[in-house]
Amino acid sequence: MTTAITITDVSITPVAVQDPPLLNSVGVHEPYALRAILQVRTDAGLVGVSEAYGDDPTLDRLRRAAAELPGLSIWDLNGLSRRVAVGLGEVAPDSPTELAGAPSVAKAIASTVSAFEVALYDLQGKATGLRVCDLLGGAVRERVPFSAYLFYKWAGHPGQEPDSFGEALDPAGIVAQARRLVDRYGFGSLKLKGGVFPPDEEIAAIRALREAFPEHPLRLDPNANWSVATSHRVATELAGVLEYLEDPTGGIEGMAEVAAHTGLPLATNMCVTTFDDVPPAVAAGAVSIVLSDHHFWGGLRASQKLAGICETFGLGLSMHSNTHLGVSLAAMTQLAAATPNLTYACDTHSVWQVEEVIEPGAIEISGGAVRVPDGPGLGVTIDQDALARLHEQYLGCGIRRRDDVAAMRVRYPDWTGARPRF
């Protein structure tokens, strides 16, 4: 029998973590990426943890919602949604980054619910001794495969020493980067973040990867930086080479035009990012694969609902990632473990983070996969010293909202980040 356990207070700690100069369709990563670490305390002395975006608008929403949570039972996930709605009241459309689709009210609400829902699942696990994946229906896999996330990158941020990853600006650099990640982590599939250089250069990089890694499934994601015509051309060239092509162009209509002329599966984390996007995307035949992301789809239960919808409509399901830390990786892994039709290796930015907020040992990538943490709950513990240090870094870094366009202007003052560029 479970006892009533209610929330007493919530702390929300923004942190900044070092991030390398990774290039994408709108610009380049800033020297620091922002995250928020949530600690939800209860009258039973349990603390549930979660990780969310750490930009100012997100923090504002989290704080407004947190004020409504004392007294909420840790079992009452529907009550959580109601209280978050009360706390947020009228909310502005938002998206954590232009690379995860258009801003929307649904996304702003969903990301707030998600942040607390993960912490409640962590609490439920701690109260019962169960892992989150067991609370979500049980693990269908104990090891969750992730893909190597390859990025074109500069050697270092402007004005800084080269970082330990080095430069990757051409096919040879991308192959070397892939080799390093495969050797170190055993990744069994490779995803290249494209939309950076003219498509022929990125096609050459994919061909070089195919040559160097004949058996690895390959993906290319230009984050909607190509016109429909360019997308047609690249899709034709890379048919039979890629496992899937992710967001070649913008919008459901554009993606449908591309899909109509290629046998290459198209995936998205940009044109289908809320439940409202699903019916028009299915009707238009715009995508074959949806990349879920519990952070902005509304949490772990909402992601399972998305999985069911994908199954019903014959869509594949993969998992998207922005820059994140170990708490999110644990949540992603627990969710993927309990989602039968999540059969593609998931994305993770983890390999690019040299700083961490959880105690070491809970999460390692080996053999290209993460073993589901033992639990209870998410199976991770916040390293309070690391949290304090990364919070100090947040206070000092001056960044309050991700802006890859501004970071690019440091080197290219006329940069606009406007898409499609090719």
Of residues 249 through 308, those in contact with Mg ion by CB under 5 A are: 269
Of residues 202 through 221, those in contact with ligand GKR by CB under 6 A are: 221
Mapped onto helix, strand or coil, the DSSP state of residue 26 is: coil
With beta carbons less than 8 A apart as the criterion, state whether 317 and 92 touch.
no
Where are the extended beta strands (E) located within 74-166? Answer: 143-145, 148-151
Q: Which of 314, 342, 320 is nearest to 133 (CA)?
A: 342
Considering beta carbons, is residue 17 or 287 the nearer one to Mg ion? 287
169: DSSP letter: -
**Residue 311 CB, nearest distance to ligand GKR (Å)?**
22
**Residue 95 CB, nearest distance to ligand GKR (Å)?**
10
Among 246, 277, 293, 404, binds Mg ion (CB under 5 A): 246
Among 221, 277, 356, 404, binds Mg ion (CB under 5 A): 221
Tell me which of ligand GKR, Mg ion, none is bound by residue 99, counting a contact when its beta carbon lies within the kind-specific cut-off of 5 to 8 angstroms.
ligand GKR
Residue 372, Cβ density class (10 Å: 0-12 exposed, 13-18 middle, ≥19 buried): buried
Tell me which of Mg ion, ligand GKR, none is bound by residue 336, counting a contact when its beta carbon lies within the kind-specific cut-off of 5 to 8 angstroms.
none
Q: How far apart are CA 420 and CA 229, in angstroms?
A: 11
Q: Which of 131, 92, 129, 99 is nearest to 24 (CA)?
A: 99
Considering beta carbons, is residue 84 or 110 the nearer one to Mg ion? 110
Is the bond into 420 cis (omega within 30 degrees of 0)? yes
Residue 112, Cβ density class (10 Å: 0-12 exposed, 13-18 middle, ≥19 buried): buried
Residue 153 as a binder of ligand GKR (CB under 6 A): the answer is no
CB under 6 A: which stretch of 57-65, 94-102, 228-236, 409-417 binds ligand GKR?
Answer: 94-102
Where are the extended beta strands (E) located within 58-200? Answer: 143-145, 148-151, 190-193
CB under 5 A: which stretch of 155-163, 244-252, 305-313, 384-392 binds Mg ion?
Answer: 244-252
Tell me which of Mg ion, ligand GKR, none is bound by residue 39, counting a contact when its beta carbon lies within the kind-specific cut-off of 5 to 8 angstroms.
none
CB under 5 A: which stretch of 207-215, 220-228, 280-288, 382-390 binds Mg ion?
Answer: 220-228
Q: How far apart are CA 98 and CA 386, in angstroms?
A: 29
Considering beta carbons, is residue 294 or 320 the nearer one to ligand GKR? 320
Among 81, 112, 223, 303, binds ligand GKR (CB under 6 A): 223
Of residues 329 through 348, those in contact with ligand GKR by CB under 6 A are: 347
Active site residues: 193, 320
Among 15, 22, 245, 258, binds ligand GKR (CB under 6 A): 22
With beta carbons less than 8 A apart as the criterion, state whether 30 and 58 touch.
no
* Count, residues near ligand GKR per rule CB under 6 A: 14
Q: How far apart are CA 46 and CA 411, in angstroms?
A: 48
Among 15, 65, 69, 100, binds ligand GKR (CB under 6 A): 100
Phi, psi dihedral angles at 50 (to 5 degrees) = -160, 165
**Residue 224 CB, nearest distance to ligand GKR (Å)?**
9
